Each structure stands twice: as C-alpha cells, then as structure tokens.
C-alpha cells in the first residue's frame, strides 16, 4: 500500500471515529429527554405495575444472542438474499429469546417497546433488556432510583415477553461497599434484575451474600481478565459469553461450551439465561445453537 493510500485510510478511520463520537454524544443528550418522557408516560399509563411479581416463564433455559441485527451475520446466519426486514423472523425461528443491546445506547420509547411486543407474533419469545447507560455509565447509580423505576415500565409493557433487566457496569467501576449499597438500594424488587460487572474485584463473598439477600442475579461472564466462575445468587443464573481472550470475537469450541453447560446444570438453578456476545465475526448464532443443544433445547 502506498503512503498516499495509507494516509487516505487513516483519514477515513479518523473521520468514522469522529462521526461515531458525535452520534454517541447526540444519543446521550437525547436519552435524558427520552427518560423524562417515559417518566411522564409511567404515571399517565393505564398499564398496571406488577407489584411484587415478575412474569412467569416456562422454559428451564433461555439461550440466544446479544442482539440480532449485525451486518456480518449476512451470509453466515442470515441468507444473503434475505431482506433485513425479515431478519428478526429468521432469528425467532431458531431462538426464543434475545438480549436487546440497543436500549443501552438509546433509551427506548414506549412505541419502541410496543413494537418489540408485536414482533414475535404468536411465538413464545422473551426479551432481556440491557439498561440504558444513562443509569449505569453516565450517572453510575448516583441518584437514579427514579430512572430505574421509569425504565422498569418496559417490563409492564412487555408482560410475559419480559425476561431480565441487565445492568452492565463499566470496567473502571471497582468494588466498594458504598457502590454495592447504591446498586442494590435502587433496584426494583418487582423485576428480574441482573448485574454484570467488568472488574474482577466484584467477585467476592460480600457481593454474593448481598445479592442473595436481595434476590439479585449476579452475571457470570466469559471475558478477558474476568473470573470464569459460575456464580449463583438467586433461583436463576445468567451467563454472558463475550470471548475468554478477545472481546466479542472468539469462536467457542465444543469443549468450552460443554464446560459452561456443565457449570449451568451443576448450579442447581431453576432457570438459566445464556447470551452470546461474540458477534463481530458472526460466531454468536452458531455457538448459541450449539449451547441450546447441550442444554436440551433444540431449535
């Protein structure tokens, strides 16, 4: 590659990064307004809050992917000639759950959530919803109890299609007892709450005990520099598989998947939630289908 071509490529990369930065900045500003609208909608809505219950689910294991709309899946999971408008239907014929990641970047509107409810049609399909970064990354659980309650309206709209709320914290968020108290003191016990940490300091008995006392689900992870322990703190267990050595790019071997399936069964949990987030190279659907088979759930 010539020096001029390298410069053009570097300029193009810088330009794309700047566009992404501006787009993310715009999303973060819009999230504040979207959250305020959902707060208003929660009080005006005729949808009753569920009180101290969560949706009743029949399956023992829900296995799927962290998102379903990825261009790199075309030609691997999605047929090349399949219109993008039919991708969700194709996904839903093979999986009965998905972990929605878009809600992390952009606080969903009521219309968004109602469309999620309609999408699966008559299929038994369940959503796990990743909580907006406004709560977990921007405010970091400081003064966010009302925001958590407002975001919980999503479960009221989804009804029996609602699985878990996933709260993911950033890698820089280290364990302290004050932070543990901030998190657990704001979670709504009416919901099925999962917390994913990205710093290894959270894997400790103080956290596990506090999670057990509040019925909060500790997210077990397969990710770089994170313990690969199967942690159970509630009736349900929750596992996210990102890739043990490289984030989002690993193709899990049969042996690696079998070890995780054995851990899940040995946990004694009443229900397991397993999502593959190794989507960059299109490995997630293949690995998730293999895990479904290992846990006794055929597509």
Angle between helix axes 110-118 and 3-44 (nearest 10 degrees) is: 90
pLDDT at residue number 3: 54
- CATH code for the structural domain at 60-294: 3.20.20.410
> Which burial class, exposed, middle or buried, applies to 14 when counting CB atoms under 10 A from its CB (0-12, 13-18, 19+)?
exposed
So what's the pLDDT on residue 49? 54
Residue 30: the pLDDT is 87
pLDDT in tens, the chain (299 residues): 555 554 455 556 778 787 878 877 788 898 888 989 889 988 887 555 554 446 667 779 999 999 999 999 999 999 999 999 999 999 999 999 999 999 999 999 999 999 999 999 999 999 999 999 999 999 999 999 999 999 999 999 999 999 999 999 999 999 999 999 999 999 999 999 999 999 999 999 999 999 999 999 999 999 999 999 999 999 999 999 998 888 888 999 999 999 999 999 999 999 999 999 988 888 999 999 999 999 986 54
**Bridging pattern class, strands 193-196 and 271-276:** unpaired
Give the per-residue pLDDT at 299: 45
Which pLDDT does position 178 carry in this prediction?
98
pLDDT at 1: 52
> Dihedral angle at the C-alpha atoms of 63, 57, 229, 286, nearest 10 degrees?
0
Query: What pLDDT is recorded for position 11?
Result: 52
């Amino acid at each position: 590659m010539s020096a001029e071509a390298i410069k053009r490529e570097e300029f193009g990369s810088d330009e794309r990064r700047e566009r992404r930065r501006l787009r993310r900045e715009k999303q973060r500003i819009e999230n504040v307004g979207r959250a305020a609208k959902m707060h208003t909608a929660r009080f005006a809505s005729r949808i009753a809050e569920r009180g101290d219950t969560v949706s009743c689910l029949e399956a023992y294991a829900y296995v799927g992917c962290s998102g379903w709309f990825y261009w790199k899946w075309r030609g691997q999971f999605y047929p090349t000639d399949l219109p993008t408008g039919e991708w969700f239907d194709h996904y839903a014929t093979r999986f009965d759950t998905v972990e929605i990641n878009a809600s992390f970047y952009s606080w969903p509107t009521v219309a968004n959530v109602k469309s999620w409810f309609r999408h699966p049609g008559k299929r038994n399909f369940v959503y796990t919803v990743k909580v907006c970064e406004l709560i977990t990354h921007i405010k970091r659980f400081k003064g966010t109890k009302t925001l958590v309650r407002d975001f919980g309206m999503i479960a009221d709209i989804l009804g029996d299609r609602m699985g878990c709320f996933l709260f993911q914290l950033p890698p820089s968020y280290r364990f302290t007892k004050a932070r543990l108290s901030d998190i657990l003191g704001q979670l709504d016990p009416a919901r099925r709450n999962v917390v994913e940490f990205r710093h290894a300091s959270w894997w400790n008995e103080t956290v596990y005990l506090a999670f057990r006392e509040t019925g909060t689900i500790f997210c077990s992870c397969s990710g770089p520099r994170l313990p690969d322990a199967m942690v159970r703190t509630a009736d349900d267990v929750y596992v996210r598989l990102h890739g043990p050595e490289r984030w989002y790019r690993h193709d899990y071997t049969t042996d690696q998947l079998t070890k995780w399936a054995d851990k899940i069964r040995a946990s004694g949990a009443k229900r397991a939630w397993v999502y593959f987030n190794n989507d960059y190279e299109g490995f997630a659907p293949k690995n998730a289908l293999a895990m479904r088979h290992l846990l006794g759930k055929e597509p």
